[in-house]
Amino acid sequence: MARRFLDNTSRRLNLAPRPLTAEGERALLGYHFPGNVRELQNIIERALVLSRDGSFGPEFELGQPREYAAPLRAAPGERPQVLTAAELQALERQNLLNALESSRFRIAGDAGAARLLGMSPSTFAYRMKQLGIVRPRAG
């Protein structure tokens, strides 16, 4: 599944195909996924966006990629981290997905994803549509 998610996400984000390194595969196999398949997909998407060398391997930490956790502001004397438009869009998409998962896919109301992100439900729904996020059907 990880390889399929890598291929599909790379294509969707217009990135060159990324190999799953042996170290990356070991990390995924050794990780207890408390969530579901969506969690695996989200981890892979985040790692792809943040990968600097084009591989999917030791550049991420499961649960919180190193570069994603670091602030975008540079320390004095260092070059600031700059994200491409695709990376920024993928981060926004992931943030919306995280809010949806935290709110059990409820968009509006006090416990809704829109409130978590400080935006109106209509704006949230619009961003979902722009980023290709589809609310799963109850079933």
Alpha-carbon gap, residue 122 to 128, rounded angstroms: 10
How many CB atoms are closer than 10 A to CB 2? 16
Residue 128 has pLDDT above 90, yes or no: yes
pTM, to two decimals: 0.48
CA atoms within 13 A of residue 79's CA, in its CB half-sphere: 3
| Greater model confidence, 53 or 28 | 28
Domain architecture of the chain: domains with CATH: 1-81 (1.10.8.60), 83-139 (1.10.10)
| The pLDDT value given to residue 57 | 58
- φ, ψ for residue 128, nearest 5 deg: -55, -45
Which amino acid type is present at position 124?
F
Q: Minimal CA–CA distance to 20: which of 7, 35, 39, 38?
A: 7
56 forms beta bridges with 20
Phi, then psi, of 20 in degrees rounded to 5: -90, 110
**Span 102-123, pLDDT tens digits:** 888 999 998 899 988 888 999 9
Flag whether pLDDT at 61 surpasses 60.
Answer: no
Residue pLDDT, tens place only, 79-109: 777 778 888 888 899 889 988 988 889 999 9
> Average per-residue pLDDT in the chain?
76
